[in-house]
Structure 1
Amino acid sequence: MRLPRPSEMEGALAAVDRSQLVAAAHLSIRRGSKSFAAASRLFDRTTRERVWLLYAWCRACDDIADEQDHGGPASLGQAETRLPPETRLATIRTLTHRAMAGEETDSPSFDALGVLMQEAPLTTPMVEDVLAGFALDAAEWRPRTEADMLRYCYHVAGAVGVMMAAIMGIPAGDEDTLDRACDLGIAFQLANIVRDVWEDDAAGRCYLPVEWLVEADIPPGEVTKPHYRHALVPLVRRACELARTYEASARLGAARLAFRQRWAVLAAANIYGDIASQVEALGAHAWDHRVHTSRARKAKLVIEAFRQARRGPDPAPRPSLSRRELAALART
């Protein structure tokens, strides 16, 4: 599928303005996610720029929600003036809605979303599904069940996967391919959850289901106590098994993309899958230090993704709880 170039879009921002937004977005993804930055280089130019623009908006929303700077500590002045979560959420909503309406926001990251709304088949519900994830965090919502955890993964990452598919040219009516794109985002977030157990606990959060913790006899708020590490290992394995199920489903959707898009998506899948595999393999030592994928290892995974993109995916069922089912749960 051929994507229209920015110069072909009526009502788009002036080329110089867009180029500045793209440059700022590129800096943002390089600072905030080495894994996504590496995978994004495999896209064709138009898709690559749109991926950067989408990342910039997501990163800005994350930073406002957590009062951080690209996932790290905020400046000293900001740290001394923490705002209530509902105020931060209101800021995210206000800037996002202004961008969607085609208004300038005085923020390159939110203006980036405005450009994407002009260029790609993004819809308001797609964006609202992502904002719902920030609302869950603002309410200090915690998953009680496995379905709750998957619903959270849907809003904070699966819904971003849907937007990614849209900027690659997948129409809003292609429900199955959008479901599969969502599945990849869910797999990514499950990898994040198992890798970041310690960091999340330090921030007063836990995204493993309460029911899982109860079954493992891990008391609330004590998930990172040294004497519970071995009890945590089976829960991590369970989450990693779920991640593999969602990733396998997503690979079928990736097969419907243009070759370079498919290659980039599969490279990202390999890199995030490798993170989850490392956490699982390390067992009780998974949180001695933050798991990451080395540059050499990423290169091997990118090469493997090239072979996978040429070969095609193995058959895989769609998970019982994917985009449409999880969206329905969110409405109940």
Structure 2
Amino acid sequence: MTSVLAARELAAAGIEGAALRESYVRCRRLNAAHGKTFFLATLLLPPAKRPFVHALYGFARHVDDIVDDHASTTAEQRAALLERWVGDFLLDLEWGATSDPISRAVIDTSRRWDIPSSYFVDFVDAMRSDLTVTSYATYADLEKYMWGSAAVIGLQMLPVLGRADDTVRWDVLEQHAVDLGLAFQLTNFVRDVAEDLRRGRIYLPQESLDQFGVDRERLARGRVDESIRNLLAWEIERARRLYARAAPGIELVHPTSRDCLRTASTLYGEILTEIERADYDVFSARVRVGLRRRAQVGLSGLQRARSARRGDPPTPTPRGS
């Protein structure tokens, strides 16, 4: 059943046809269920932009879930399912149509906004590597993975978010989007050390672990000591440098998109602060920004976003228009 808000978003975006609308609604549900911070931030966009962001998130979440479904499938089953689903998706993306209930929305989004298919290929390659790669020797190695797992998602979103005006160069905006995607991903890696370990993976560079005398066994014990504190503090500062590099890009997107990015960046960045407040204990429970703080940032962003929307054209225009 389509909610009133979702129906309003679909109408504002000009999305018609029962099957296509249902596909966008499925992606919206995935964003609401799994991407709570990103879903909140998405609600600060004009209704006409939201379905396309939901579609891009829904696609990424669906593929990630295939790779991480450890509870009900074996590694071989996950690999086979991923190859089958991805193969169908890439063919459908080239063709421009599909019967898949998730792919339908993202293919429509890709065509409307002229999003390069290479971004989807790079994302899929990163997810495929999660089936076999369990660690990364250097930050440069990890950065190559994060290009596909996070940076390209920011690049996919840029045409939807739009530029502040025609004087803003796309290549400058794209670099800021890459930095923000890397910052979000590295924040996840620091917060989710214990969860990733349970899946057999470490997303902190081995060179960092070596620098502070930490190994897989020490992390697996789940007890914070000075070496682990120093390791996590090191990676937190790396993430903060990425947020700082990304920050100027927020003012370069269209005014109606700025508070979406500002809210996501603020709340995700504050996860790092919460990790510090927890004395770097990322083992006992998943570190979160409190509901009251999320509401405070979201409401503040909503007030600014509503102000920015006044006089904004009802439908966003794609890159090159």
Aligned pair in 2 of structure 1 residues 217, 82: CA closer, same or farther (>3 Å)?
closer
Q: Which residue of 2 aligns with 1:133?
A: 126
Choose the corresponding residue for 1:189, options 185, 195, 202: 185
Instruction: Tell me what 1:59 maps to.
Output: 61
Q: What do the CA deviations read for 1:37-66 (whole angstroms, capped 9, x no partner)?
A: 111100011211111111111111111112
- 116, 120, 131: which is aligned to 2:113? 120
How far does the alpha carbon of each residue in 1:305-324 deviate from its partner, in whole angstroms, 9 at most, with x for none?
Answer: 579989xxxxxxxxxxxxxx
Mapping 1:10-49, distance limit 5 Å: 14-49=16-51
1:240 partner SS: helix
Contact persistence 2:126–2:145 (CA under 8 A): yes
> Among 103, 122, 125, which residue is 1:110 paired with?
103
Residues 223, 283 of structure 2: 8 Å contact kept: no
Residue 236 (str. 1) matches residue 232 (str. 2): yes
Cα distance between partner residues in 1 of 2:223 and 2:288:
25
CA contact (8 A) 1:280 1:286 kept: no
Indicate the SS of the match to 1:243: helix
Judge conservation of contact 2:153–2:181 (CA < 8 Å) in 1. yes
Matched, 1:87 2:80: yes
Q: Which moved more, 1:263-272 or 1:225-234?
A: 225-234
Larger RCO of the pair (alpha carbons < 8 Å, separation 6+): 2
Deviation at 1:228, TM superposition (A): 5.8
Deviations 1:223-281 (A, max 9, x none): 23245643111111111111111112222112111222110111001111111221133
Q: What is the alpha-carbon distance in structure 2 between the residues aligned to residue 265 and residue 85 of structure 1?
A: 33
State the distance in 1 between where 2:41 and 2:17 align.
Answer: 25
Distance 1:30 1:120, change over 3 A: same
Deviation at 1:82, TM superposition (A): 5.5
- 2:219 equivalent to 1:223: yes
Partner of 2:275: 279
State the distance in 2 between where 1:286 and 1:102 align. 44
Structure 2: distance between partners of 1:116 and 1:175 = 21
Aligned partners of 1:36 and 1:227: how far apart in 2?
Answer: 30
Partners of 1:162 and 1:178 within 8 A in 2: yes
User: CA deviation digits over 1:269-314, x for unaligned, max 9?
Assistant: 111111122113322433221111222111222356579989xxxx
- Corresponding residue for residue 288 of structure 1: 284
Whole-Å separation in 2 of the counterparts to 1:277 and 1:190: 14
Specify whether residues 260 and 299 from structure 1 end up closer, same or farther in structure 2 by C-alpha distance, changes over 3 A only.
Answer: farther
Aligned-pair identity in percent equals 24
Amino acid aligned to 1:116: T
Q: Distance in 2 between matches of 1:273 and 1:29?
A: 19
Match of 2:4 in 1: none
**Counterpart selection for 1:178 from 156, 174, 177:** 174
Q: Is the 8 A contact 2:44 2:305 kept in 1?
A: no
SS of residue in 1 equivalent to 2:48 = helix
The 5 Å alignment of 1:152-171 reads: 152-169=145-162
The separation in 2 between residues aligned to 1:284 and 1:169, in whole angstroms, is 37
2:218 aligned counterpart, secondary structure: coil
- For residue 169 of structure 1, report the CA deviation from its aligned partner: 3.5
1:150 aligns with 2:143: yes
Comparing 276-285 with 115-124, greater Cα deviation is found at 276-285
Deviation (angstroms), 1:32: 1.2
The question of whether the paired residues in 1 share the 8 Å contact of 2:119 and 2:148 is answered with no
Distance in structure 2 (CA, Å) of the matches to 1:238 and 1:309: 35
Q: Which runs of 5+ in 2 are unaligned?
A: 1-11, 307-321
1:316 corresponding residue in structure 2: none
Residue correspondences, number: 291
Which blocks of at least 5 consecutive residues in structure 1 are unaligned?
8-12, 74-78, 311-332
CA RMSD, 1 decimal? 2.6
Kindly provide the CA deviation profile for residues 2-50 of structure 1, in whole angstroms up to 9, marking residues without a partner as x. xxx754xxxxx84333321222122111111111111110001121111
TM-score with structure 2 length normalisation?
0.82
TM norm structure 1: 0.79
For residues 98-138 of structure 1, the C-alpha deviation after alignment (integer angstroms, 9 at most, x for no partner) is 33124544322111211112111200222222122113212
Determine the C-alpha separation between the residues in 1 that align with 2:55 and 2:280: 38
